[in-house]
Amino acid sequence: NAGVTQTPKFQVLKTGQSMTLQCAQDMNHEYMSWYRQDPGMGLRLIHYSVGAGITDQGEVPNGYNVSRSTTEDFPLRLLSAAPSQTSVYFCASSYSSTRGLHYGYTFGSGTRLTVV
Amino acid sequence: SQKIEQNSEALNIQEGKTATLTCNYTNYSPAYLQWYRQDPGRGPVFLLLIRENEKEKRKERLKVTFDTTLKQSLFHITASQPADSATYLCALDKGAGRRALTFGSGTRLQVQP
């Protein structure tokens, strides 16, 4: 049971380049989300998904796209990288019980992205 | 606007004492409140979840309280150890309709031996 796997762990991009941050979970969780963490600002929600085929925007969605074609995978695409997107990115997943009770999130180990 | 406040100043305590961390929120009605631990260079790790109709939750040396009238949660670590040194994050979950978390900026705890 690997939990939430994020790749790559480190990435350097040039301004204007595009790339995809990968996130995969093997726990059959229906809820997945992407956060970015900047010094002193805590984690901010970029996009989230409540199931395959369903995504929605968080607080800071501009410059990022997501899709959820399977339960397991939730990739984050940077369309045209900017220095302001230099950050640490975390993917997380969770689930609800059949009674609708919520549970804690499992986080990946993060992708440290630098845009020069 | 919605706001979650955690003490941005680091909390320094002696080993064996109880650490108490505070999370205050405004313009928010969370169905759940969660606490996470984050070590440098790592992702957050889930510790405890408390529901809006619960006043208190315990797990080993950890205790969380949730006061929806005061819009506040307290997170206690009893008999603290140097290994408890980390940043602790408070997160709100609105529940149905939006299944994602909103985080506070965290409080760094340093337990001195």
Residue B42 or residue A40, greater confidence: B42
Q: B36 contacts in A (CB within 8 Å)? A: 104-105, 107
Interatomic CA distance for residues A78 and A56, integer angstroms: 16
B96 reaches A (C-beta below 8 A): yes
User: Does the beta-carbon distance from A43 to B49 stay under 8 Å?
Assistant: no
For chain B, which residues score pLDDT lower than 70?
95-98
**How high does pLDDT run on average in chain A?**
95
Cis peptide before B30 (omega within 30 of 0): no
State which residue of chain A sits closest to B4, comparing Cα positions. A42
By mean pLDDT, which of A9-13, A82-86, A107-111, B1-5 is the weakest?
A: B1-5
Interatomic CA distance for residues A69 and A54, integer angstroms: 9
The tens digit of pLDDT for each residue in A67-77 reads 999 999 999 99
Interatomic CA distance for residues B6 and A29, integer angstroms: 29
The answer to whether the beta carbons of residues A94 and A37 sit under 8 Å apart is: no
Among B42, B51, B105, select the one facing A40 at the smallest CB separation: B105
Cβ neighbours of residue A60 closer than 8 Å, sequence gap 6 or more:
A36, A44, A45, A46
pLDDT for residue A89 is more than 90: yes
State which residue of chain A sits closest to B101, comparing Cα positions. A45
CB neighbours of residue A24 within 10 Å: 19
State which residue of chain A sits closest to B37, comparing Cα positions. A107
Work out the angle at residue B99's Cα, subtended by the Cα atoms of residues B109 and A35, and round it to the nearest 5 degrees: 50
B106 reaches A (C-beta below 8 A): yes
Residue A18 or residue B8, greater confidence: A18
pLDDT score for A66: 98
User: Does the beta-carbon distance from A104 to B89 stay under 8 Å?
Assistant: no
